[in-house]
Structure formats: structure tokens, C-alpha cells
């Protein structure tokens, strides 16, 4: 069978039946610690003391066209408890993965079906979700419907943020005036929203005027205020102004410096060609990057590189940095650059991590380069650490590609790599091979019945080296 690939190889190859099998193989539960672990980049994490909890029913349904309401109603019909804190936690997790429509459905179901009261912060969160899913007009209507008792600063500041996100300057400025009249503009938070808007649209004269207004009104600038100013100066190549703000931040005992401030300064120096100073700023930035910030930080550094048309020198960075840059390149469709960085790293005697090959495999799949994806996946399997979890969708796409190519020998060879020590059990490999090559209905039914057995037998699998790439 000839394989006709779409622009997104992963979507074109996704097989729902294989996905159910991989759910069993790669989404496992540690019963001893009652903690569910999932592969990096696949499904959000959520801890629960029960194997059958509401989140586990919601997480796999990633299609925004599939409503969450039937799942919620079935859960309630079964007599299961509906806990406010659990629902709020699920909403937060879904927001992280940009599943805004599902998060909004759960938020609305909380109050419409279970009469769970919302705090001002919860209402602000729903307002933001409505704006993201349905647009500003419906968000404004929802804002008008909120009772005065709960329409507090978080709600007002969220609508201001919605206006700023939509780059609606006139509405944002008019609404800011309302907030000032109500006494909701006494801290830098609201000012920062408007400052960020002015910076994004290039209205730097308004930015300067608003900063002066803050000083007159006794509103002290915080780290974010100064970072916005720095970014504006950097965009205008006003290096003197940028350096002045950076120096004032460094000597201010109330401000804790972070990677972003130095990255902004690096961007400014790169723009005017001061490479040595830019590299020093990048060094300072790298020292301040913590675990949870790494992916965001290196995506930002990658953006600096791409926008200025010059390479970021990585000779001063530890191996974890090239690894994360490779992940960022692959995420942004720059697989060739990821290859070049990997080759340079190998030439220096560094050994790629299993996650490095995994990132490349995912990048190759997205680029429809399946021969390369297969080789990268094989390397990932051979270098695999006991605690590293494969990306389920990438593996599924590779297997489906092999299957459609009709190369049974190569397919079996590839699948059996999963049976190497620390991977998947031999019995489960045989089941997977049977599933791939036996197409009658009886075999499919049998496979469905064996899913629970697979979950129990492989529950020692854990996810990616979390401390390295979270």
C-alpha cells in the first residue's frame, strides 16, 4: 500500500485502535504511590488516589469538538463525588495544555449542574476562557452579568488583559479609566497590562507617559514594569536606556533578578551587533534558569536567534542546554538545525540522551521524514533509560508508517526493540505484533480485553527524565 502523507504526518497516521493499545502500554499507574505518570508532551499530569478518577476520563479526550458534558454527567450518574477543588485543579491542567473549550465546559458545569459557588478568582478564570473560546463580545456580556458582590479586582484586571490580548487599545484605555475611578489601579499589575500592550503595538510614547503617571500616582514599578521598559528600549536600539533600567534592577533589593531580564538585554545587544555583551547576558540568563522555566526560556532564546538571523553560541552551556535547544528547534519545525547542533555536540564527545533522539524523532514525524524518524526512534530505544517514557503519538505514527509500507520484517524488528530490558514485556510485544498483523474482528476484540492486563503488567514505566526537560 502506498502511503499518502498529509502536511502533518502525525495526524495523517494516527490510528485510534493503536492509540488504545498505546494508552495501555505507555500510560501506567504506580499503585504503590498512587501516582499516575504520563509521557512528556502527551497528556497533562494529575495526581489522584484512585485509578478511576474524573481526570483520567477527561484527559484522553483531546478533540475540542468532543464535549466534556457527557463525561461529567456520567460520572455524577454513577454516584461519584464531585469535588470543587478537584474540578478547579482539572481546569488549571487543561489550561496549561490550551484545552480552553474543555476547561470552560467544566467551569460552566460546576455552577449550572452542581451549584458550586465560584470565587472572584474563579470567575476571572472563566472570563478569560470565554474570551479565548468565544471572543471579546461574549466575554463582555459575561462581565456585565457578574454580580457586584463578586466583581472585584481580579475580574476587572482579567477583562483589561483580554482587551490587551486582542490589541484593542481604545477599549483597554477606557476600561483602565473605570478601574482608576473604582480604586483598582493602585498597584502596578493593571499598569503592566497596559504597558505590555503599548510595547507590543509599538506605541512607545504612550508607554513612557504611563510610566510617568505611575510615578505621579505613587505606584511603584515592579520587575515586570522594568522588563517591559527594557524590551521597549531594546526594540528601539536605545541601549543606554536599556542598560540604565537593567542596572537599577540589579541594585534594587526588592527585585529578584531572573533569566528573562538578561535575555531581553541580550536581544538588545544582538540587534546592534554587540555580540560579546550579548553572550555575557546569555551566560547570566542561563545561570538563573530553573527546572520549570527551562522550556520557556530556551524557546525565548531560540526566538532571539531566529529573529536576528544569527546563531546562539552554545560553547559555554552545559549539555542540558543543547538538549533543550534541540527540543525547541524540533518544536518549531527546524529539524535541520537540530541535526547540526546534535552533530556538533557528538563531535565534542558528548553522548546524546534518549530524550534527544526522541525529540528528533518527533520532529521528523512532523516533517514527514519517516525513515529518519525510525532511525532516531531506534537510537532512542537503544539509549533508553529505565525512567524515560516514549512519546506515544510519535511511536504510533512510526508503527503505522511501517505497517502501511508493508515491510513485515522491518516492522517486527522495530517493535521488538520495545522488548529490550527496561522497556515493554515480551508478552505485551507479542500482543502488539498480533494486533498489527491480525485484522479479523475476533483478534481486535481479544486485544481490547487484554488492555487491562497490559496496564497492570507494565505499571513500572515512568515518564521522561522530568528534572531535565520539565
Name the residue among 391, 390, 362 with its Cα closest to residue 374.
Answer: 362
CA 123 to chain CA centroid, nearest Å? 24
Let me know whether 289 and 326 are in one domain.
no
Domain finish residue from 311, 345, 372: 311
Angle at 139 between CA 156 and CA 190, to 5 degrees: 25
Domain finish residue from 105, 123, 141: 123
Q: Which residue segment(s) compose the domain that 265 sits in?
A: 222-311
Let me know whether 332 and 234 are in one domain.
no
- For the range 257-260, what are the long-range contacts, defined as Cβ-Cβ under 8 Å and sequence gap of 24 or more? 257/288, 258/223, 258/288, 258/293, 259/285, 259/286, 259/288, 259/289, 259/293, 259/297, 260/227, 260/285, 260/297, 260/300
Domain finish residue from 245, 277, 311: 311
The C-alpha atoms of residue 13 and residue 454 are separated, in whole angstroms, by 23
User: Do residues 145 and 160 lie in contact, with contact meaning Cβ atoms separated by under 8 Å?
Assistant: no
The C-alpha atoms of residue 190 and residue 301 are separated, in whole angstroms, by 27
CB neighbour list of residue 273: distance below 8 Å, 6 or more residues apart: none
Asked whether residue 370 is domain-assigned, the answer is: yes
User: Do residues 200 and 166 lie in contact, with contact meaning Cβ atoms separated by under 8 Å?
Assistant: no
Total domains, the chain: 3
Query: What single DSSP character describes residue 79?
Result: T
Which pLDDT belongs to residue 433? 60
User: Do residues 329 and 335 lie in contact, with contact meaning Cβ atoms separated by under 8 Å?
Assistant: yes
Query: What single DSSP character describes residue 61?
Result: -
CA 175 to chain CA centroid, nearest Å? 31
User: Do residues 428 and 457 lie in contact, with contact meaning Cβ atoms separated by under 8 Å?
Assistant: yes
Asked whether residue 185 is domain-assigned, the answer is: no
Asked whether residue 444 is domain-assigned, the answer is: yes
The C-alpha atoms of residue 211 and residue 31 are separated, in whole angstroms, by 55
The C-alpha atoms of residue 263 and residue 280 are separated, in whole angstroms, by 10
Let me know whether 289 and 336 are in one domain.
no
Q: Angle, to 10 degrees, between the axis of helix 84-96 and the axis of helix 100-114?
A: 160
Strand ranges for 233-375 from DSSP E:
none
> In this predicted model, what pLDDT tens digit does every residue of 216-274 receive, in sequence order?
999 999 999 999 999 999 988 899 999 999 999 999 999 999 888 998 998 888 788 78
> In this predicted model, what pLDDT tens digit does every residue of 140-150 receive, in sequence order?
999 999 999 99
The C-alpha atoms of residue 22 and residue 326 are separated, in whole angstroms, by 26
Torsion angle (degrees, nearest 10) of CA 194, 197, 203, 205: 30
Let me know whether 263 and 392 are in one domain.
no
pLDDT in tens, the chain (470 residues): 333 333 333 344 445 555 444 444 443 333 333 333 333 333 344 444 445 688 888 887 778 888 989 999 898 888 887 788 889 999 998 998 889 999 999 999 988 876 788 899 999 999 999 999 999 999 999 999 999 999 999 999 999 999 999 999 999 999 999 999 999 998 999 999 999 999 999 999 999 999 999 999 999 999 999 999 999 999 888 999 999 999 999 999 999 998 889 989 988 887 887 877 887 887 788 788 776 666 667 667 666 654 544 444 443 344 556 776 788 788 888 899 888 888 887 887 777 888 888 889 999 999 989 999 999 988 888 876 655 677 778 888 888 888 787 777 777 777 777 665 444 555 555 556 655 555 433 434 444 444 444 444 444 333 433 333 33
Torsion angle (degrees, nearest 10) of CA 79, 85, 86, 90: 140
Let me know whether 271 and 383 are in one domain.
no
Let me know whether 299 and 367 are in one domain.
no
The C-alpha atoms of residue 56 and residue 188 are separated, in whole angstroms, by 40
The C-alpha atoms of residue 279 and residue 281 are separated, in whole angstroms, by 5
User: Do residues 243 and 264 lie in contact, with contact meaning Cβ atoms separated by under 8 Å?
Assistant: no
Strand ranges for 356-440 from DSSP E:
none
Let me know whether 386 and 467 are in one domain.
yes
User: Domain of 288: which CATH number?
Assistant: 1.25.40.10
Three-class DSSP category at 59: coil
Amino acid at each position: 500500500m502506498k502511503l499518502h502523507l498529509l502536511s502533518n504526518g502525525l495526524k495523517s497516521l494516527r490510528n485510534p485502535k493503536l492509540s488504545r493499545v498505546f494508552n495501555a502500554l505507555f500510560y501506567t499507574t504506580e499503585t504503590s504511590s498512587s501516582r499516575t505518570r504520563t509521557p512528556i508532551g502527551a497528556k497533562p499530569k494529575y495526581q489522584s488516589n484512585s485509578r478511576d478518577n474524573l481526570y483520567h476520563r477527561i484527559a484522553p479526550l483531546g478533540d475540542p469538538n468532543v464535549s466534556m458534558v457527557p463525561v461529567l454527567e456520567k460520572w455524577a450518574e454513577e454516584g461519584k463525588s464531585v469535588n470543587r477543588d478537584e474540578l478547579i485543579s482539572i481546569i488549571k491542567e487543561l489550561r496549561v495544555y490550551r484545552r480552553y473549550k474543555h476547561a470552560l465546559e467544566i467551569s460552566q458545569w460546576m455552577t449550572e449542574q452542581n451549584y458550586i459557588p465560584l470565587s472572584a478568582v474563579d470567575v476571572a478564570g472563566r472570563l478569560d476562557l470565554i474570551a479565548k473560546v468565544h471572543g471579546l463580545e461574549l466575554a463582555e456580556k459575561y462581565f456585565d452579568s457578574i454580580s457586584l458582590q463578586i466583581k472585584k479586582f481580579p475580574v476587572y484586571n482579567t477583562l483589561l488583559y483580554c482587551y490587551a490580548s486582542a490589541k484593542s487599545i481604545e477599549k483597554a484605555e477606557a476600561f483602565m479609566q473605570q478601574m482608576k475611578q473604582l480604586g483598582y489601579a493602585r498597584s502596578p499589575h493593571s499598569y503592566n497590562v497596559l504597558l505590555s500592550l503599548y510595547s507590543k503595538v509599538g506605541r512607545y510614547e504612550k508607554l513612557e507617559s504611563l510610566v510617568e503617571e505611575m510615578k505621579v500616582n505613587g505606584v511603584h514599578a515592579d520587575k515586570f514594569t522594568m522588563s517591559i521598559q527594557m524590551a521597549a528600549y531594546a526594540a528601539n536600539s536605545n541601549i543606554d536606556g536599556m542598560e540604565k533600567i537593567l542596572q537599577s534592577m540589579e541594585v534594587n533589593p526588592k527585585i529578584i533578578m531572573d533569566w528573562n531580564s538578561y535575555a531581553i538585554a541580550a536581544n538588545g545587544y544582538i540587534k546592534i551587533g554587540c555580540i560579546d555583551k550579548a553572550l555575557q547576558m546569555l551566560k547570566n540568563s542561563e545561570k538563573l534558569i530553573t527546572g520549570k522555566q527551562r522550556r520557556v526560556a530556551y524557546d525565548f532564546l531560540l526566538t532571539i536567534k531566529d529573529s536576528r538571523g544569527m546563531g546562539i553560541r552554545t560553547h559555554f552551556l552545559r549539555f542540558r542546554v543543547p538538549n533543550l535547544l534541540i527540543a525547541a528547534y524540533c518544536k518549531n519545525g527546524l529539524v535541520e538545525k537540530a541535526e547540526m547542533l546534535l552533530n556538533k555536540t557528538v563531535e565534542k564527545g558528548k553522548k546524546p540522551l534518549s530524550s534527544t533522539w526522541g525529540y528528533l524523532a518527533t520532529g521528523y514525524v512532523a516533517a514527514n521524514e519517516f525513515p529518519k524518524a525510525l532511525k532516531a526512534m531506534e537510537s532512542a530505544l537503544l539509549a533508553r533509560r529505565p525512567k524515560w517514557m516514549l512519546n506515544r503519538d510519535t511511536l504510533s505514527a512510526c508503527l503505522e508508517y511501517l505497517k502501511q509500507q508493508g515491510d513485515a520484517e522491518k516492522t517486527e524488528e522495530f517493535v521488538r526493540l520495545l522488548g529490550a530490558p527496561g522497556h515493554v514485556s515480551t508478552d505485551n510485544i507479542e500482543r502488539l505484533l498480533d494486533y498489527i498483523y491480525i485484522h479479523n474482528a475476533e483478534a481486535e476484540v481479544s486485544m481490547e480485553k487484554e488492555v487491562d492486563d497490559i496496564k497492570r503488567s507494565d505499571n513500572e514505566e515512568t515518564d521522561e527524565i522530568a528534572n531535565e526537560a520539565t
